[in-house]
Structure 1
Amino acid sequence: MKANKALHMKKNTKAQVGIGTLIIFIAMVLVAAVAAAVLIQTSGILQQKAQSTGKQSTQEVSSNLMIKNIEGVRAKNTTITSDTIDMLKLQVGLNVGSSPVDVNQVVISITDGTIAHNLVYAGNDKTYSAGKMGNFSDDDASANLKKLLTVSENPTKFYTVDRIRDEDQSFSQSNPVMNTGDLILVYLATTSDDAVGLSHMGSLDTSGTLVTSQLDLVPRTTVNIVLTPESGAATIAEFVTPSSYGVKETVQLYP
């Protein structure tokens, strides 16, 4: 009887099966924990990339700059008025909720259907190998405008600006950064061959004779202007000049 009982006890393997099951269970828990950690890490990385991509996409498709108004000015002297529009004054602001815009990095393209220019801010010393506009003033917008209009090749390379509204006094010639609520004037020289040699642009005495921009904004000219900021969608303005300028020295062109 004792021998039979001992033999019966040796054949009982239930405890071994339980240990094997426990080992398998622990292994499954460890694998699941590792997999969960990998998934959490991967989802975190993907979320960060998605947020970054979304922010960049929003900046690219949003339009920060807004052209509110465009006026054309005709050149003259004491007895003669040009037959063309020789300077454009663009009132430019920011859309609601826009982030600040560095005007120093805004490229303006303008064409009259025959000639096209890509213009940079006159104080930009990085875009052209020649640097910023010669004798550029860090604090005198009027002096910069006169140099734009009277120095050869400047009208084909540069534009200048002046502030209209700048409550926080953050906008300057040397640091032309627009914040929400700011309103500026952008000056584009469009002097034609007909205006070369004249000395006044509207009420502005240029203290020198005007030079050509190679553009020719005669009546019924289709003009296309594109403002391309460093980030965000480009702002486009297209208009046709009036059929006659009459005796007006300043002509409303857009909107």
Structure 2
Amino acid sequence: MKANKAFNLKKDTRAQVGIGTLIIFIAMVLVAAVAAAVLIQTSGILQQKAQATGKQSTQEVSSNLMIKNIEGVRAKTGTNLSDTIDMLKLQVGLNVGSSPVDVNQVVISITDGTIAHNLVYGGNTKSYDPMTGFVATNTAAQNLEALLTNSGNPTQFYTVDRIRDEDQSFSQGNPVMNTGDLILVYISTTSSDGASLTAIGSTSGNLTSSDLSLVPRTLVNIVLTPESGAATVAEFVTPSSYGVKENVQLYP
């Protein structure tokens, strides 16, 4: 029979010691710490950029402004009415959840199919010279009169008035719309025929032409382009006859 064999495990109690091992260990810890710090910083920057991009994208694709109603007004002298629509009154509000809108930076494009104008707010001092006759401390009616009676104004500018402004933050000099605000935008569309008359609504004086001509059955396109957000478009055809109406409902 074979003799039983005994197996003994060799105990190795030796280990690396010394300054070299300590340096390697510290270096590994430092590398791991630096790598972790870089990853944390990079992820934070990416998160901030992603949030900013998401917010900007939401603003660009969302429509802040909403045209609720458009009414046309004909020029007159006594009971004699113009054959054209000579002023537009746009009732404009903000969509739910919209950020504030600075009307100073809203560009309105309007065309009657033949003539097109790009209009800015009459009190815009940030990008353009103010409209002739515009005064920030004037009433909306006074600035509307300046729009309708000063040559060149109707082809370059529009004016506004507030309908609802709970926090009293909207003014002629600082026309900033907040959620819940509702304003009237006045666009002069006075034709050469209308300019020969003496009044539009409650405004009287020497009317000036806008070069537009909104006769019956005219296709009108209006685009409101805010500083940020999608443009708002309103397109309508004027009625086949204005009859004896001074104020004509046009949109919706």
**Fold conserved between structures, TM > 0.5:** yes
| Higher alpha-carbon deviation: 12-21 or 216-225 | 12-21
User: Per-residue CA shift, 1:22-80, capped at 9, x if unaligned?
Assistant: 76555444322221111111111111111111111111111111110000111110242
CA distance in 2, matches of 1:192, 1:235: 25
Give secondary structure in 1 for the equivalent of 2:227: coil
Separation (CA, whole Å) in 1 of partners of 2:98 and 2:57: 14
SS in 1 for 2:148: helix
2:133/2:150 contact within 8 Å kept: no
1:83 and 2:80 equivalent? no
Residues 16 and 127 (structure 1), Cα distance of their counterparts in 2 relative to 1, 3 Å cut: closer
Gap runs ≥5 in structure 1: 1-11
Contact 2:151–2:209 (8 Å) recurs in 1: yes
Match of 1:55 in 2: 55
Matches within 5 A, 1:22-101: 26-101=26-101
Matched, 1:247 2:244: yes
Show the counterpart of 1:5: none
Q: Which amino acid aligns with 2:133?
A: N
Deviates more, 1:133-142 or 1:101-110: 133-142
Give the corresponding residue for 2:211.
214
Determine if contact 1:120/1:127 at 8 Å carries over to the other structure: no
Alignment of 1:225 with 2:225, yes or no, is no
- Are residues 1:176 and 2:175 paired? yes
Amino acid at match of 1:147: A
Deviations, residues 68-101 of structure 1 (Å, cap 9, x unaligned):
0000111110242111111000000111111111
Corresponding residue for residue 154 of structure 1:
153
2: CA distance, partners of 1:145 / 1:76 = 16
Residue 166 (structure 2) aligns with: 167
Q: Secondary structure at the match of 1:245?
A: coil
One-letter amino acid matched to 1:180: T
Counterpart-to-counterpart distance in 2, 1:93 and 1:229: 13
In structure 2, C-alpha distance between the alignment counterparts of 1:16 and 1:231, rounded to whole Å: 67
CA-to-partner distance for each residue in 1:153-196, whole Å, 9 max, x for gaps?
Answer: 10001101111111111111111111111111000000111111
2:206 and 2:82 map into 1 onto residues whose CA distance is 13
C-alpha distance in structure 2 between counterparts of 1:237 and 1:32, whole Å = 60
1:132 correspondence with 2:130: yes
Query: Could you state the TM-score of these two structures normalised by the residue count of structure 2?
Result: 0.89
What secondary structure is seen at the aligned counterpart in 1 of 2:16?
helix
Residue type of the partner of 1:174? G
Q: Distance in 1 between matches of 2:170 and 2:33?
A: 56
Q: How far does residue 16 in structure 1 lie from its aligned partner after superposition? A: 3.2
Report the 3-state secondary structure (helix = DSSP H, G, I; strand = E; otherwise coil) of the residue aligned with 1:244.
coil
Q: Distance in 2 between matches of 1:191 and 1:92?
A: 21
Aligned length: 240
Residue 141 of structure 2 aligns with which residue?
142
- What is the SS of the residue equivalent to 2:104? helix
Structure 1 residue 231 displacement after superposition: 1.3
User: Following the alignment from structure 2 to structure 1, what is the Cα–Cα distance between the partners of residues 20 and 206?
Assistant: 99
Contact 1:139 1:172 in 2 (8 A): no
From the superposition, tell whether residues 20 and 13 of structure 1 become closer, same or farther in structure 2 (CA, over 3 Å).
farther
Partner of 1:186: 185
* Residue aligned with 1:212, SS: coil
